Chain A
Amino acid sequence: MAKVFIYPATSLILSDMVERWGHSPLGAAVAVREHIQTPGLDSPPLQMTPDDPKRGLKYAAVEVPSGVRGRMSLFGPLIEEADAAIIVNDADLAFGCMGCARTNELVKYLIRKRGIPILDLVYPACDEDGVAFVAAIKAFLSDLPGGVP
């Protein structure tokens, strides 16, 4: 079983596909769950505090907006932990949305820099592309160690 980072990290469809073909998805749900389940914090809605953008300094310098660094504090550790990644470019908002374009650029760059197996796709624009899109994801996940054929 491989740990697969998904982009957009909020995509429930991608998360479900990764699980379905035998792997563990690394996405926003994992990072946010950790925050909201940490006892003693009271910082709704995500339970993020000003310490999180400071943790994000590991991935982006202080002149980078705090929102980018805060997001990187969530996604950066997941990228480091990942064995593989699926990137879906130009996804529809309904498919998954990361909110900040600058974070998106940095997240995708850091994934590509890792040198792990990556499936880089464009979001399908028609049914035919959609079928090929799912098939490509299935093939990629099945080929990863521990993947379901």
Chain B
Amino acid sequence: MSQPVRVAQLSCGPEHSGVQKEIYDAAAAVNAEMFFPDVTLNDIRESYGAFGLEARSADLRLAIARAKALVEGRVDADAVFIATCFRCAEAAIVRNELRRYIHENSDLPVVSYSFTERTTSGTLLTRMEALTTIARRRALLAREVQEGLTMGVDSGSSTTKAIVMQDNEIIGFGWVPTTNVLGSAEEVITTALEEAGVKRTDLEATGTTGYGRFLIGNKIGADLIQEELTVNSKGAVFLADRQHGEATVIDIGGMDNKAISVQDGIPGTFTMGGICAGASGRFLEMTAKRLGVDITELGPLAMKGLSAEVPMNSYCIVFGTQSLVNALAAGSSAEDVAAAACHSVAEQVFEQQLQEIDIKEPVIMVGGTSLIEGLVHEMGKLLQTKIVVPPHSQYIGSVGSALLASGFIRGDIGEGA
């Protein structure tokens, strides 16, 4: 086994919330090691004064001192994990400013998270995996061209997708709603291989991502089993042809959302999650169902409506659905309701997640929801930019997986792969 990735922890409250062990467990699962940067009392006094943020909580002052020690090179780390209590306003301010400070003043990958006592190692695993991958596998993530014959499988909460690629071109697609994880994967693999006109044994490398990545990856003997944050970043910049420079990738998924600030195709800062299903694609599925249209028709329908005509707040999916039903009962048009639903989801993602990363243009939307034209339009309005939706954007995870898996053909996989 390779050397563990050393992740510096800057935090307030995980020990007293009873979740420090969960953080340790998530780190151990991806061969990482959490540590608290050593600082002296003088460091705390001086750093706190120099940083200029008047936090009253001593643990937050300590986190500030530790961040300065990392940025100034007095303590070595491979990555940084910032964690504070959910619902603490002071901690949220410090968390955001520390993330920004570290991102702007060092090359350290950083992720921030607000926890409750219900946070588990499983919740943290994908984030920790992404953090350590960025630190450990830079060589693999630098790959810009797909070579040979490879396949990527993305097992999402709503849909399962497969892509077969050959010499930097997509030659086979497979897509089904996720039911049985292995069964759905088998179906899309078969479809994609048939369309590509190749046999499974012809494949030189395979990769899996998404919630079912471990189950499917182990079953098919995948070369790469990788979380969706890094994989989707690669897939997005590859398909959007924005492999160099800055970009922001937004993936509003069926169960959670990812917002990733990317530099040369490698995630710098990212957030994953969402407070409620009201900020996910699931709410749009429910809206389509209530309006009696297919989810593919919701986007064009929304484009014909005006979101401002219907008050809707999908912070909670139950209340969001209530607004939807009330609006329809009050005589609102299906077009306006569809537009309001798209606006509400975009607004939730904007408020809850996009404030935690630095939005850099181009903004690339990917995943199945990026095909909902009304949602992309509303997100563009909120961010005041033209959103890029690359071709085959719903296959982003599979494409990223197939692309990265080709690094295994010649073995340029980076340390610890």
Contact = CB atoms under 8 A, between A and B. Distances in A.
Q: Is B truly associated with A?
A: yes
A93 B41 contact: yes
A61 B118 CA distance: 16
B354 to A, nearest CB: 23
A5 B339 CA distance: 58
Contacts of A148: none
Given A66-B115, A66-B116, A67-B85, A46 B58 contact: no
B88 interface: yes
B17 A50 contact: yes
Contact of A66 (B58, B61, B85, B90): B85
B57 A99 contact: yes
Contacts of A65: 13, 85-88, 91
Contacts of A68: 13, 85, 88
Contacts of B45: 93
Contact of B58 (A45, A53, A97): A97
Interface in B1-34: 12-21, 24
A48 B19 CA distance: 8
A45 B34 CA distance: 13
Interface string A69-80: 111001000000
Interface in A36-94: 42-46, 48-54, 63-71, 74, 93-94
B117 A53 contact: yes
B18 A52 contact: yes
A102 B17 contact: no
A101 interface: yes
A98 interface: yes
Contact of B17 (A44, A53, A63): A53
Contacts of A67: 12-14, 16-17, 84-85, 88
Given A43-B18, A53-B17, A99 B41 contact: no
Given A94-B41, A99-B58, A43 B17 contact: no
Contacts of B219: none
Contacts of B186: none
Contacts of A64: 87
A70 B13 contact: yes
A43 B118 CA distance: 14
A100 B12 contact: yes
B276 to A, nearest CB: 15
B80 interface: no
Contacts of B24: 44
Interface in B38-64: 41, 44-45, 55-59, 61
B12 A66 contact: no
Interface string B87-100: 11011000000000
A75 B27 CA distance: 30
Interface residues on A, range: 20 to 34
Interface in A82-127: 93-94, 97-102
A71 B85 CA distance: 12
Contacts of A46: 15-16, 20
Given A65-B85, A65-B88, A65-B91, A54 B117 contact: yes
Nearest to A97: B58
A50 B88 contact: no
Contacts of A50: 17-19, 117-118
A65 B118 CA distance: 12
B67 to A, nearest CB: 17
Contacts of A52: 16-18, 117
A46 B58 CA distance: 18
A44 B35 CA distance: 13
B17 A70 contact: yes
A67 B117 CA distance: 8
Nearest to A10: B58
Nearest to B16: A70
Nearest to A105: B56
Contacts of B88: 65, 67-68, 102
A9 B115 CA distance: 25
Given A48-B17, A52-B16, A102-B57, 4 more contacts: A44-B24, A50-B17, A70-B15, A99-B16
Interface of A: 42-46, 48-54, 63-71, 74, 93-94, 97-102
Closest 9 CB pairs of A and B: A67-B13, A70-B16, A65-B85, A101-B56, A66-B17, A99-B59, A50-B117, A53-B117, A67-B85
18 contacts: A42-B21, A45-B15, A48-B15, A50-B18, A66-B17, A66-B19, A66-B117, A67-B14, A68-B13, A68-B85, A70-B18, A71-B16, A93-B41, A93-B45, A98-B58, A99-B58, A100-B13, A100-B59
